A and B are shown apart, each in its own frame.
Chain A
C-alpha cells in the first residue's frame, strides 16, 4: 500500500465520518421532542461533520499540483466560531417566544415526585393529557 492509496483511504474515511455526523445531527433536529433538545443536534454533531468533510477536502487538494492547501481550515474555523453564537441567539429567540420544554422529557433537579398513576418519576401517568408542542 503506497502513500497515494493511504491518502485516499484517509480521505474516504473522513468523508464517511463527516457525512454520518451531519446526518446524525439532522436526525436529531427532526426527531428530538422539544426545541431545546433539538438545538443539540445541529450545533454539535453537524458542525463536527462539516469539520471532518473540510479536513478531507484539505487533504485532497493538498495532493494536487498547487502544493499544500489550507484555506478549507478557514471555513472550518469560522464555522466553529459562529456555531455557538448562532445557537445562543436561537435559544434566546425561543425563550423570547416562550417556547416551552416538554415537561416530562427529563425530570428537573431536584427530581419531582412521581405523578399519581405513574410508577416511575420520568413516566407519564396513564390519564395525563398529551401536552403537544405549542404552535406559535
Chain B
C-alpha cells in the first residue's frame, strides 16, 4: 500500500507540473493555433489527473467526469479549430 500511495503522490506532482506547462503555453501563444493546442493538451492531462484521483480516493465517481471531459474536450477542440479555419462555427 505504501508503494502505491508513494507512486500516486509522485504521479500527481508530475501531472500538476504538466498542467502548469500547458497553462504557460496557453498564455504565451504566440499564434491562436498554439493556444488551441495548449487547451487540447490540458484536457487530456486533466483526464489523467481525474483517473489518478479516482485511484487515490478509491471512488468510481471520477471516471464519469473523465469520460465526459474526453467526449466534450474533443468537440471543443474541433469547434475551436473550425472557428480558426472559417471564422465561424455553424455556417
B10 interface residue (CB < 8 Å to A): yes
Q: Measured between alpha carbons, how far is A59 from B4 in the docked complex, in Å?
A: 13
Interface residues of A in 32-84 (CB under 8 A from B): 35, 38-39, 41-42, 46-47, 49-50, 53-54, 56-57, 60-61, 64, 71-72, 74-75, 78-79, 82-83
Residue from the list B14, B25, B77 in contact with A29, Cβ < 8 A: B25
Known interface pairs A22-B18, A72-B51, A99-B33. Does A47 touch B81 (Cβ–Cβ under 8 Å)? no
Chain B interface residue count, CB cutoff 8 Å, equals 51
Q: Which residues of B contact A (CB under 8 A)?
A: 1, 3-4, 6-8, 10-12, 14-15, 17-19, 21-22, 24-25, 29-34, 36-38, 40-41, 44-45, 47-48, 51-52, 54-55, 58, 60, 63, 66-67, 70-71, 74, 77-78, 81-82, 84-85
Q: Which residues of A contact B (CB under 8 A)?
A: 8-9, 11-13, 15-16, 18-20, 22-23, 25-27, 29-30, 35, 38-39, 41-42, 46-47, 49-50, 53-54, 56-57, 60-61, 64, 71-72, 74-75, 78-79, 82-83, 85-86, 89-90, 92-94, 96-97, 99, 133-136
